[in-house]
Structure 1
Amino acid sequence: MLRKIATGLMLVCISQTAMATPWEKVKQPSSGDSSSIGSYANGCLAGGENLPLQGDGYQVIRSERGRYFGHSEMIVFLQQLMKQSQQLKIGNVLVGDIAMPRGGRFSSGHASHQTGLDADIWLRIPEKPLSQQELKTVSALPMVDVKNYQIIEKNWTSKQAQLIQLAASDDRVARIFVHPVIKQQLCKTEWKQRDWLSKVRPWFGHYYHFHVRLNCPEGSTTCEPQTPPPAGDGCGTELASWSPTYKAPVTTKTVTDVKPKPKPKKVLPPMCNIVLKS
């Protein structure tokens, strides 16, 4: 029986290794200055830097996955954001996935996070740093009752709202993705300034964390920029359209025999092959 169990575990390990992308097998960043290459969902990272696993106002969770590397600008941004949150007494922030040592594609879990300019920040905000044992066992804290499409009042506080506002107000930030219900909650809040809300974009799945995406670094010639968000705060019809009870206006459809064109297969920028093999 023990031999069968051991054989089964070995097969699982072999299977997971075989499924891993070449990028997941690389454990160290390439040398040189940081450079984001390609697009957020089809690119790589040269000269990646690691975020220290613990610093002023934050801790990295699930560090064993080795996804705490990013463009130098992302590392600086996160450290500054967490220091500000500590000064505002928001709490100890938990940082999730940024990117792998050289960015690139994941076998599962993320479509983006490939250029070191994306980072996940949990919405569970402990009052003080977690112990090493707590870091291994801490679980996500959902802010949204997904089934009933409503905020979980006992979990959502002004601290979560303040942390998102703090991040979105930074000029380096291009987008912040949150669950539509969280965006709805932010829209209902009275803010002295609401310009930053345009960057906060609804996206399903982000009910226990928010996803920060930075603009391409100034002067970068290898990074594909993010399209600017639409005008306005995004709190009207666009947000309402995400609701499961939303009924779109009836329009007259024209029937044609034209088949939709298949999406072309993504091809990584040639420079990424150099980064991977260097």
Structure 2
Amino acid sequence: MVKIRNSLALIFALLLAVPAGAQPLAKQEFGAKRVASAQKSAPFGSYSQGCIAGAEQLAETGPTWQAMRLSRNRNWGHPQAVDFVKDLSKVAAKQPGWKGLYIGDISQPRGGPMLSGHRSHQLGLDIDIWMLPASRLNLSRNTRENISSISLRRAKGAFVNDNWSRAHHRIIKAAAKDKRTARIFVFPGAKVQMCKDAKGDRRWLRKIRPWYGHHYHFHVRLACPRGARGCVNQDPPPRGDGCADAQKWVDDILNPPAPRPRDPNAPAPKPRRELRVADLPQQCAGVLAAR
């Protein structure tokens, strides 16, 4: 164990010794890995700046799910995420017209920054779930590359459209009520609609947060697994059911407030720097180097 720790410290020290501009981009290093590391499953860092050791691959097809866009090789996650997909897809399979779920991106084999598409999904704890009802679970690999999900938004996300159904409400509610879930991101109109339709106990609505996009899929973010010391949890959502905040977002879509005047003396914002391996938790260098 001491030798392993010393080796990781040496790898990290060597990375730090290389000038930042000469260090390889983390997305290139992690994007090149085709399989998970042969380590005990553990997430390190935060959802948008981390990695995962010992990820588990979600089967391409299961009794109640299919993984989509297989060429991306992003159907890897913490075992807790894989179990979550299996459990939620069983709920979906009970809905009229649904045989289960179509699963989008989870994570790369070792997590980390992706070559395209996401800032998060780095710990194997973020799951994109398509809004398209999974009416068939025998789609070919080629079909899964070319089929698209459906949009549920209307009026730039202020309202749901005719594709929205009670099944969407029930599935997202089940995901929110799961104790493993930290947040769920959907477009504002969906949150408002769910607030209008919710009956009885409304505490689960707190986890559902409006966010840009998220009308072709909803995004489930799981909390750090118990005992995962290197994992940084998402801050808890604000108190209450969040319905007033979602309605305010919708109101601003329909009647945009006047833009704030720009301070001519304010410095121009700096472009976001691409993450290097040395920017990630020290354990991530070991995840990359592991077999």
What TM-score does the superposition give when structure 2 sets the normalisation length? 0.80
- The 1:157/1:198 distance shift into structure 2, 3 A limit, reads same
Aligned equivalent of 2:148, options 139, 147, 170: 139
Residue 284 of structure 2 corresponds to which residue in structure 1? 272
The aligned runs of 1:5-24 (5 Å cut-off) are 21-24=28-31
The aligned runs of 1:234-249 (5 Å cut-off) are 234-242=242-250, 243-246=252-255
Residue 65 of structure 1 corresponds to which residue in structure 2? 72
Offset at 1:134?
Answer: 3.7
The percent of aligned pairs where both chains have the same amino acid is 36
Q: Distance in 2 between matches of 1:107 and 1:138?
A: 22
Contact 1:50 1:68 in 2 (8 A): yes
Higher mean alpha-carbon deviation, 259-268 vs 32-41, is at 259-268
- CA-to-aligned-CA distance 1:111-166 (integer Å, 9 cap, x gap): 0000000010001013332431543432110000254732112x111111111001
Contact 1:240 1:246 in 2 (8 A): no
The aligned runs of 1:97-176 (5 Å cut-off) are 97-132=105-140, 134-147=143-156, 149-153=158-162, 155-176=163-184
Gaps of 5+ in 1: 1-17
Q: Distance in 2 between matches of 1:260 and 1:216?
A: 36
Q: Distance in 2 between matches of 1:181 and 1:209?
A: 13
Residue 228 of structure 1 corresponds to which residue in structure 2? 236
Contact 1:41 1:112 in 2 (8 A): yes
Offset at 1:19?
Answer: 11
Higher mean alpha-carbon deviation, 260-269 vs 47-56, is at 260-269
Residue 84 of structure 1 aligns to a residue whose secondary structure is: helix
One-letter code of the match for 2:175? A
Q: Distance in 1 between matches of 2:93 and 2:236?
A: 30
Q: Distance in 1 between matches of 2:217 and 2:247?
A: 19
Greater relative contact order structure (CA < 8 Å, 6+ sep): 2
Offset at 1:191?
Answer: 2.1
- The 1:46/1:148 distance shift into structure 2, 3 A limit, reads closer
- The 1:239/1:275 distance shift into structure 2, 3 A limit, reads farther
Contact 2:91 2:171 in 1 (8 A): no
Residue 13 of structure 1 corresponds to which residue in structure 2? none
- CA-to-aligned-CA distance 1:29-50 (integer Å, 9 cap, x gap): 0012210000000000100000
Residue 199 of structure 1 corresponds to which residue in structure 2? 207
Contact 1:96 1:119 in 2 (8 A): yes
- The 1:185/1:213 distance shift into structure 2, 3 A limit, reads same
Q: Distance in 2 between matches of 1:170 and 1:119?
A: 14
Q: Distance in 1 between matches of 2:268 and 2:27?
A: 32
Residue 236 of structure 1 aligns to a residue whose secondary structure is: helix
Contact 1:19 1:107 in 2 (8 A): no
One-letter code of the match for 1:127? S
What TM-score does the superposition give when structure 1 sets the normalisation length? 0.84
Residue 8 of structure 2 corresponds to which residue in structure 1? none
One-letter code of the match for 2:57? N
Contact 2:70 2:145 in 1 (8 A): no
Gaps of 5+ in 2: 1-24
Contact 1:104 1:114 in 2 (8 A): yes
Contact 2:188 2:249 in 1 (8 A): no
One-letter code of the match for 1:131? L
Residue 74 of structure 1 corresponds to which residue in structure 2? 81
